[in-house]
């Protein structure tokens, strides 16, 4: 008879049912690849009476201990989501000598170090490929395939909901509320879309990615975050005119100033490979000092794409069980690099102003930028989107954030400036 490796599944929602489906649909191929059958032995559910389509043949329990204490179960897959009790269940599982695979970015971003420590102490695997970029392989490539490099820059589109919304705003000229409703109707955005549109979902993934790429622990609170709620069709239209597309980007740099890690909307040059990543797709662009540029592209969410990453982790663990040794790379935060404070971060900026339409206005604005030490790359004045006023769009050269803040403070004081309509960073990707 075939050797069997038993799995306990925590959570049977979108990803949990995907995991069951991948294990069934690719059963024979997986058996041939690992030399053992992967068996979903038990599933933890909250409500034993609720129908679980796709998990009909699997034993259900509402007691975590039934999985934890089952000596046949060697691998626990956590796909419940949220911090509690997911974190406690994973720690207890590792402590009990079970290997853990998770898709939970919330827990990994905040408690990854504790989980790694527990895994190392008990000589088991802790893997989380699906936590960043869903089905796109990026954690293992960074930890293994690119480990010969010093990674100096990561750029990522890591939230499908907001990328879908910005793509629709760009394609159809629709406003934020209309595309949000569309994203909800299509099931991309959750009923409460706050974590996606305010950038928190991407920030958690950014903290995980930066920690691994730059070999130094980056906490969620180290990530400067700004969402897409202030992006208007007018900004999107200016972006197009100027040769950019608007994206919610994870921007991470490792330099002599420390680690600069941010999530915010950007005007991204249409020539950058990430500019053509549209709809719900995700992509991560990495620069390594030996490799140069590389881009990882695919489906960052969804039942089967995410399950693809989860089950691949399970297979890697199974191979370790077969070999009798742990080969997965554990925590890679060997260094303790400083975080570059937001005011010292450097970028180019798009600033859109509503001003009085009278002689000398442009001069006053240029002086306010100049006095703050901000050099302008281009200035466009139009009467688009306005009545009895003018709109000025300035693109700055690359400058420290603190200087732009100083310029904005002076501009607000000018009587000819009626409104600062938006400030968005410009990213060339270099
Ligand atoms: P989901 O559809 O909401 O499913 C969560 C499942 O966990 C549900 O079956 C829920 O039970 C169960 N659950 C929650 N708390 C529980 C508890 N205390 N005890 C027992 N069961 C519990 O979520 P999902 O989309 O599959 O996401 C799961 C995880 O994968 C999250 O960490 C998410 O961030 C991550 N992820 C998801 C995607 C994606 O595309 N969905 C992509 C990448 C990563 P009920 O059935 O009783 O509600
Ligand atoms: N809510 C996320 C997104 C998927 O829209 O990309 C789960 O990480």
Answer whether residue 427 shows pLDDT above 60: yes
Q: Are 52 and 70 in contact (CB under 8 A)?
A: no
The atom of ligand 2 lying closest to the CA of 161 is: 5
Answer whether residue 288 shows pLDDT above 70: yes
User: Length of the chain in residues, anyone?
Assistant: 430
Q: Which has the closest alpha carbon to 34: 329, 313, 306, 328?
A: 313
Please tell me the pTM assigned to this model. 0.96
Answer whether residue 429 shows pLDDT above 90: no
Active site residue 205: yes
Q: Are 315 and 33 in contact (CB under 8 A)?
A: yes
In the predicted model, what is the mean pLDDT of residues 138-167? 97
Q: Which of 103, 299, 301 to mutate to test the pocket of ligand 1 (most atoms within 8 A of CB)?
A: 103
CB of residue 201 inside a 6 A radius of ligand 2 = yes
Q: Which has the closest alpha carbon to 73: 32, 33, 101, 106?
A: 101
Q: Are 149 and 290 in contact (CB under 8 A)?
A: yes
How deeply is 374 buried, as exposed, middle or buried, from its count of CB atoms within 10 A (0-12, 13-18, 19+)?
A: buried
Nearest-CA residue for atom 2 of ligand 2: 159
Q: Are 47 and 62 in contact (CB under 8 A)?
A: yes
When pLDDT is cut at 50, 70 and 90, the band that residue 366 belongs to is: very high
Q: What is the mean pLDDT of the chain?
A: 96
Q: Are 185 and 247 in contact (CB under 8 A)?
A: no
Instruction: State pLDDT tens for residues 16-63.
Output: 999 999 999 999 999 999 999 999 999 999 999 999 999 999 999 999
How deeply is 413 buried, as exposed, middle or buried, from its count of CB atoms within 10 A (0-12, 13-18, 19+)?
A: exposed
When pLDDT is cut at 50, 70 and 90, the band that residue 386 belongs to is: confident
CB of residue 303 inside a 6 A radius of ligand 2 = no
CB of residue 106 inside a 6 A radius of ligand 2 = no
In the predicted model, what is the mean pLDDT of residues 411-418? 97
Q: What is the pLDDT of residue 191?
A: 82
The owner of tokens 């599982």 is 93
Q: What is the pLDDT of residue 430?
A: 64
Q: Which has the closest alpha carbon to 362: 387, 394, 395?
A: 394
Strand partners, 138: none
Catalytic residue among 205, 219, 230, 413: 205
The atom of ligand 1 lying closest to the CA of 305 is: 40
Q: Write out the H or E segment, with its range, that includes residue 369.
A: helix 361-371
Nearest-CA residue for atom 31 of ligand 1: 81
- The rounded distance, in Å, linking the Cα atoms of 359 and 413 is 18
> CA-based angle 16:95:36, to the nearest 5?
55
- The rounded distance, in Å, linking the Cα atoms of 181 and 165 is 9
Instruction: State pLDDT tens for residues 217-267.
Output: 999 999 999 999 999 999 999 999 999 999 999 999 999 999 999 999 999
When pLDDT is cut at 50, 70 and 90, the band that residue 1 belongs to is: low
- The rounded distance, in Å, linking the Cα atoms of 406 and 341 is 16
Instruction: State pLDDT tens for residues 206-228.
Output: 999 999 999 999 999 999 999 99
Rounded to the nearest angstrom, the distance between the alpha carbon of 33 and the centre of ligand 1 is: 28
Rounded to the nearest angstrom, the distance between the alpha carbon of 248 and the centre of ligand 2 is: 13
CB of residue 404 inside a 6 A radius of ligand 2 = no
Rounded to the nearest angstrom, the distance between the alpha carbon of 306 and the centre of ligand 2 is: 10
Percent of the chain at pLDDT exceeding 70: 99
Residues 6+ apart with CB under 8 A from 159: 196, 199, 201, 202, 205, 248, 282, 300
- The rounded distance, in Å, linking the Cα atoms of 409 and 373 is 13
Instruction: State pLDDT tens for residues 308-347.
Output: 999 999 999 999 999 999 999 999 999 999 999 999 999 9
Q: Which two tokens stand for residue 393?
A: 């769009």
Instruction: State pLDDT tens for residues 74-84.
Output: 999 999 999 99
Q: How far from 99 is each of 226, 314, 319, CA to CA, in Å?
A: 36, 9, 12
Q: What is the pLDDT of residue 188?
A: 84
């Amino acid at each position: 008879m075939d050797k069997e490796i038993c799995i306990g599944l925590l959570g049977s929602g979108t990803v949990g049912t995907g995991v069951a489906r991948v294990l069934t649909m690719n059963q024979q191929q997986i058996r041939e690849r690992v030399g053992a059958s992967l068996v979903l032995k038990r599933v933890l559910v909250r409500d034993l009476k609720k129908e679980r389509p796709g998990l009909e043949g699997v034993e259900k329990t509402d007691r975590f201990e039934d999985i934890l204490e089952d000596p046949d179960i060697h691998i626990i897959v956590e796909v419940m989501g949220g911090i509690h009790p997911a974190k406690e269940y994973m720690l207890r599982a590792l402590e009990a000598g079970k290997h853990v695979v998770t898709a939970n970015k919330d827990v990994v971003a905040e408690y990854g170090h504790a989980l790694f420590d527990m895994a190392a102490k008990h000589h088991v695997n802790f893997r989380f490929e699906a936590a960043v970029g869903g089905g796109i392989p990026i954690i293992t490539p960074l930890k293994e395939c690119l480990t010969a490099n010093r990674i100096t820059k990561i750029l990522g589109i890591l939230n499908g909901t907001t990328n879908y919304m910005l793509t629709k705003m760009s394609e159809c000229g629709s406003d934020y509320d209309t595309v949000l409703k569309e994203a909800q109707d299509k099931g991309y955005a959750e009923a409460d879309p706050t974590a996606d549109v305010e950038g928190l979902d991407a920030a958690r993934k950014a903290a995980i990615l930066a920690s691994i790429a730059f070999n130094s622990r980056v906490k969620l609170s180290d990530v400067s975050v700004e969402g897409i709620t202030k992006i208007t069709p007018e900004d999107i239209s200016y972006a197009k005119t100027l040769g950019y597309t608007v994206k919610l980007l994870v921007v991470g740099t490792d330099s002599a100033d420390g680690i600069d890690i941010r999530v915010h909307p950007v005007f991204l040059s249409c020539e950058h490979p990430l500019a053509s990543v549209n709809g719900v797709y995700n992509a991560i662009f990495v620069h390594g000092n030996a490799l140069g540029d590389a881009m990882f592209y695919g489906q960052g969410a969804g039942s089967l794409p995410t399950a693809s990453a989860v089950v691949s982790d399970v297979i890697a663990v199974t191979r370790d069980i077969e070999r009798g040794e742990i080969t997965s790379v554990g925590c890679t935060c060997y260094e303790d690099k400083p975080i570059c404070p937001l005011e010292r971060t450097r970028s180019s900026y798009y600033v859109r102003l509503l001003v009085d339409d009278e002689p000398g206005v442009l001069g006053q604005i240029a002086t306010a930028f100049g006095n703050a030490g901000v050099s302008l790359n281009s200035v466009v004045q139009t009467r688009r989107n306005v009545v009895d006023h003018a709109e000025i769009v300035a693109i700055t050269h690359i400058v420290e954030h603190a200087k732009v803040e100083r310029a904005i403070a002076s501009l607000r004081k000018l009587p000819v400036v009626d409104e600062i309509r938006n400030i968005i960073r410009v990213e060339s990707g270099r």
